[in-house]
Amino acid sequence: MTTNQELSSEMQQSLGPVLGRIPSGVFILTAGDGQGNTTGMLASWVMQASFNPPMVTVAVNQSRYLNQWFKDSSNLVLNLVGENQMDFLKQYGKGFEPDEPAFEGIETILSESGLPVLTTAIGFMEGSIVNSISAGDHHIYLVEISRGELSATDELPAPMVHIRKNGFNY
């Protein structure tokens, strides 16, 4: 297997634009540390993995402290962002330190597992991590979905889709 460090500059230049064009949805992942602290992060590498039971995969950069939180608490919420909800990108794009408040100015309710759900998102899915694997510079979590709802809004926006210029960075 070839790692990113072993890729030639020519390979990165030819492969990067193709990888970057793989479309992905935009989500705000909310999670807790199992001790009452919660946070949120922008997540775009989310993909359905199973019909029955319903499962998704979520990729999280290895440098994120959330990886430690996922060892201590296995629940998370994925809030689906609409194409007109740029305020979520501004709020969550920079990331948060463990002690920084992530939900100031954002209307939330608590999920069944006690995690924030963003009430103005298109909808949400709540689930538990059932497995994980290291994948280069990311960890991939397999999440079994236990609950989900669309917003009660009459007219839902289309989901936001993220397409990158280069597949070797966000």
pLDDT tens sequence across 107-132: 999 999 999 999 999 999 999 999 99
Question: How many independent structural domains does the chain possess?
Answer: 1
Beta bridge partners of 82: 159
Answer yes or no: is pLDDT of 11 > 90: no
Predicted pLDDT of residue 1:
40
φ, ψ dihedrals at 124, nearest 5°: -145, 160
On the CB side of 35, how many CA atoms lie within 13 Å of its CA?
7
Please report whether residue 80 resides in a domain. yes
Please report whether residue 130 resides in a domain. yes
Please report whether residue 128 resides in a domain. yes
- Please state, in angstroms and rounded to a whole number, the distance separating the CA atoms of residues 72 and 123: 26
Please report whether residue 168 resides in a domain. no
Please report whether residue 104 resides in a domain. yes
Answer yes or no: is pLDDT of 47 > 50: yes
Answer yes or no: is pLDDT of 3 > 90: no
Please give the residue range of the domain that contains residue 117. 24-151
How many CB atoms sit inside 10 A of residue 124's CB? 24
Answer yes or no: is pLDDT of 101 > 70: yes
How many CB atoms sit inside 10 A of residue 54's CB? 16
- Assign residue 77 the CATH number of its domain: 2.30.110.10
Is the C-alpha dihedral spanning 57, 118, 127, 137 positive or negative?
A: positive
User: What does the pLDDT average to over 54-83?
Assistant: 94
pLDDT category, 67, cuts 50, 70, 90? Answer: very high
Please report whether residue 163 resides in a domain. no
Cβ partners under 8 Å of residue 34, min gap 6: 69, 72, 73
Element (H, E) at 91: helix 86-92
User: What does the pLDDT average to over 39-58?
Assistant: 97
User: What does the pLDDT average to over 148-159?
Assistant: 89
